[in-house]
Structure 1
Amino acid sequence: MNIYMTTGTMDFMEKVKDQYVDETIHLMNGVGTTLLLHETNGKSVFQTPRKFEVVGSFGQLTEPGFFAMDNVAVTDEGKPIFEHQYKHMGEKLQNMPGFIAFRLLRPIGNDTYTLLTEWTDRRLYEIWNNSPGNQLSDKTDFKDAGGAAQHIFTSAPYTTHYKTPTEEV
């Protein structure tokens, strides 16, 4: 499974989505941008997408929803460790109130992974995000088998938030 993303104005992104009614494409609004997310086993319908391979998945992406995308740049040596750590995150989140779906996205053509979670609303996401059990709250160190810290990140992680047009930011 692959995910492709592209951004643009709301009007243009709506037109693109309307051209491909047989494809699984989600329209989302963020701060100052609109994003289309295309989930498919085939090729992208976008001209110049950001490309990802889905290496961890739980649930179905739906509309309406609130989406959080944790973007994490990982060293080449750290990629297997990172994927092992987060591949089954959706299963761990499945009983969280408001949780809908999860995708671990391996980048194609760069080093920035995306941990995509979908929630029924922002409030429930924030409750989880601010909780001590949030697996993403400490993305700075990983431990090897002997307990020594391994630094696998090339830059500070950052999170972007999106909502489907029927939900409030």
Structure 2
Amino acid sequence: MYTYITTGTYYFLKKLEEQHPDECMLLMQNAETALLWHETKGATVFQSPRKYEVIHSSGQLEKKGFIACNHVPVREEGRPVFEFKFTERMKKVESFPGFTAFRLLRPLSNDTYIVMTMWRDEEAYKDWKQSSSFVESHSKALQSAESTSVFSGPSYVSVFVLEDKKEEDAD
């Protein structure tokens, strides 16, 4: 399974999504940008996307909700350690209230992984970030990172909203 990501204006990406109704696509946006994700076993319809292999997933992608993407640069030699430890850590989030889906994406053309979690809404995501499970799993990750130095640079988080078509049409 692969995920392809492209950027553009919200309306351009919405039109592209509508042209491919049988494809698994997520149109997400925040104050700075809009992204269109295409998850498929085959080729993408995008002309020049960022390419990722889905190496761990749980839950079903939905067309509404809240998404948090942790962008994590990982050294080539650190990839197996990072993938194993992150997959183990994510088991804690899967049973958290409001959790919808998770994807661990291995980059195919750079060093930055994407750890995507999908939530019912922003409130569920904030509840997770304030939970003891979050604090415990992230403190273990920091200890592990300091001892193995698998990271090639600082990580950062970007957040997005997905809008349900039915809700948009009702407005």
For the criterion TM > 0.5, the same-fold answer is yes
Spell out the pairing of 1:5-154 with structure 2 (5 A cutoff).
5-134=5-134, 135-136=137-138, 139-142=141-144, 149-154=147-152
TM-fit CA distance, 1:139? 4.5
SS of the counterpart of 2:45? coil
In the alignment, the residues of structure 2 paired with residue 22 and residue 136 of structure 1 have an alpha-carbon distance, to the nearest angstrom, of 37
- Normalised by the length of structure 1, the TM-score is 0.89
**Worse-superposed segment, 158-167 or 131-140:** 131-140
SS of the counterpart of 1:68? strand
8 Å contact 2:107–2:113 — kept in the other structure?
A: yes
SS of the counterpart of 2:92? helix
TM-fit CA distance, 1:12? 0.3
* Greater share of helix: 2
Q: 2:158 is matched with which residue? A: 160
8 Å contact 1:2–1:53 — kept in the other structure?
A: yes
Corresponding letter in the other structure for 2:70: D
8 Å contact 2:59–2:100 — kept in the other structure?
A: yes
SS of the counterpart of 1:78? helix
In the alignment, the residues of structure 2 paired with residue 15 and residue 90 of structure 1 have an alpha-carbon distance, to the nearest angstrom, of 34
TM-fit CA distance, 1:88? 4.5
Corresponding letter in the other structure for 1:11: Y
Percent identical pairs in the alignment equals: 41
Q: CA RMSD in A?
A: 1.8
SS of the counterpart of 1:70? strand
**Worse-superposed segment, 132-141 or 150-159:** 132-141
Q: Point out where structure 1 has 5 or more consecutive residues left out of the alignment.
A: none
Count of aligned pairs: 163
Corresponding letter in the other structure for 1:59: G
Q: Please give the per-residue CA displacement for 1:37-89, whole angstroms capped at 9, x wherever unaligned.
A: 10000011101111000000101110211000000000011100000011244
8 Å contact 1:57–1:87 — kept in the other structure?
A: no
Q: Point out where structure 2 has 5 or more consecutive residues left out of the alignment.
A: none
In the alignment, the residues of structure 1 paired with residue 133 and residue 127 of structure 2 have an alpha-carbon distance, to the nearest angstrom, of 11
Q: Please give the per-residue CA displacement for 1:102-154, whole angstroms capped at 9, x wherever unaligned.
A: 000000100000000000011110111133321346654417xxxx8111111
In the alignment, the residues of structure 2 paired with residue 79 and residue 62 of structure 1 have an alpha-carbon distance, to the nearest angstrom, of 29
